[in-house]
Amino acid sequence: MNFLITGSNGQLAKEILRELDKRGISFDAFDHKSLDITDLKSVRDAIRTKKPDVVINCAAYNAVDKAEEDWQNAYLVNGIGPRNLAITCEENNIALVHYSTDYVFDGLKNAPYTIADDPNPINQYGKSKLLGERFVQSLSRRYFLIRVSWVFGKGNETNFAKKVIEWSSKNDVIKVVDDQISSPTYAIDLAKATLDLIDTGAYGLYHMTGPQPCSRYEWAKYILELIGWKGTLIPVKSDEFKTPAKRPGYSFMDSFPVMETIGYNLAEWKDETKRFIKEIAGSR
């Protein structure tokens, strides 16, 4: 079996490549420079040349605030890119793995979102990701559509956990919102679960997150406790930060039927965060 990975420089892609290597599975990895997924001809050429059995799309436009003005590029990468992959995978009878986000929901439910809930994104980033979802579901039959939330890891990308650690090195007082609630998802665990899901052949839509929700504030507090920071952490409301893009307040997703399909759920967020802190400490 051979895999083709797009967006290979991202934190999740790097963990997928490591996991594939551990399992002795062959792969071809493409970053944005070597494969622009918004170009249908380039996608067709790459897939027809490499002849993968599975394509995992890790290429994404993740700048949530920037997408409010730069929405056309967000829609290109998050919408048209998945469309091109879905078309080409369907033409060649290839399985496609595509990642989406909890930001396809408006956050007004105040209860865990299930795969049966209707999306209603409230920012351009979420809308662009929903467009990609719709293309994948309408243009391909062999797909794994995986919604994730608050992904973090030690890769090159900026993520909230790394931001908190950076803030702690420069500030004695940190403010973090306590009215945004979801579930942190460790890239290492997500990579392993993705490959285990592919092995089942159970195509469809999945919410792949941990079993417990937390707020940004709760997560930051735990990170700062683990690294022994002695400053002051202040909980605030989202309105205090005038960001271009509105965020959903409660976007925690129910992970059914992940357990029922691969036999386990992702770890609880405190466990994931503790392992992450140990990992980055060991790499210094």
Active-site residue among 113, 125, 186, 217? 125
Q: How confident is the model at residue 280 (pLDDT cuts 50, 70, 90)?
A: confident
pLDDT of 107-133, one tens digit each? 999 899 999 999 999 999 999 999 999
- Is residue 47 a contact partner of residue 55, using CB atoms and an 8 Å limit? yes
Whether 54 is in a domain gets the answer yes
Average pLDDT over residues 177-184: 98
Residue 219 reports pLDDT greater than 90: yes
Whether 94 is in a domain gets the answer yes
Residue 284 reports pLDDT greater than 60: no
Active site residue 125: yes
Whether 97 is in a domain gets the answer yes
Three-class SS string for 18-56?
HHHHHCCCEEEEECCCCCCCCCHHHHHHHHHHHCCCEEE
Which pTM was predicted?
0.97
Residue 69 reports pLDDT greater than 90: yes
Whether 148 is in a domain gets the answer yes
Structural domain containing residue 142: 2-159+185-211+251-267
Whether 205 is in a domain gets the answer yes
- Is residue 88 a contact partner of residue 47, using CB atoms and an 8 Å limit? yes
pLDDT of residue 282: 67
Look at the block and give the residue holding tokens 């002051």. Answer: 232
pLDDT of residue 155: 77
Whether 8 is in a domain gets the answer yes
Residues linked to residue 104 through DSSP beta bridges, in sequence order: none
In this structure, what token pair is assigned to residue 227? 């690294």
**Total structural domains in the chain?**
1
Residue 184 reports pLDDT greater than 80: yes
How many angstroms separate the Cα of 121 from the Cα of each of 125, 227, 234, 236, 249? 8, 35, 28, 23, 12
Whether 152 is in a domain gets the answer yes
CATH number at residue 17: 3.40.50.720
pLDDT of 10-64, one tens digit each? 999 999 999 999 999 999 999 999 999 999 999 999 999 999 999 999 999 999 9
- Looking only at the bridges linking them, the beta strands covering 232-236 and 185-186 are unpaired
Mean pLDDT of the residues in the chain? 97
pLDDT of residue 154: 87
Average pLDDT over residues 225-238: 98
Whether 236 is in a domain gets the answer no
Burial class (CB in 10 A: 0-12, 13-18, 19+), 182: buried
Q: How many CB atoms lie within 10 A of CB 179?
A: 16
Chain center to CA of 5: 15
Extract the runs of DSSP E, i.e. beta strands, from the chain. 2-6, 26-30, 54-57, 95-101, 143-148, 151-152, 173-177, 181-182, 185-186, 204-207, 214-215, 232-236
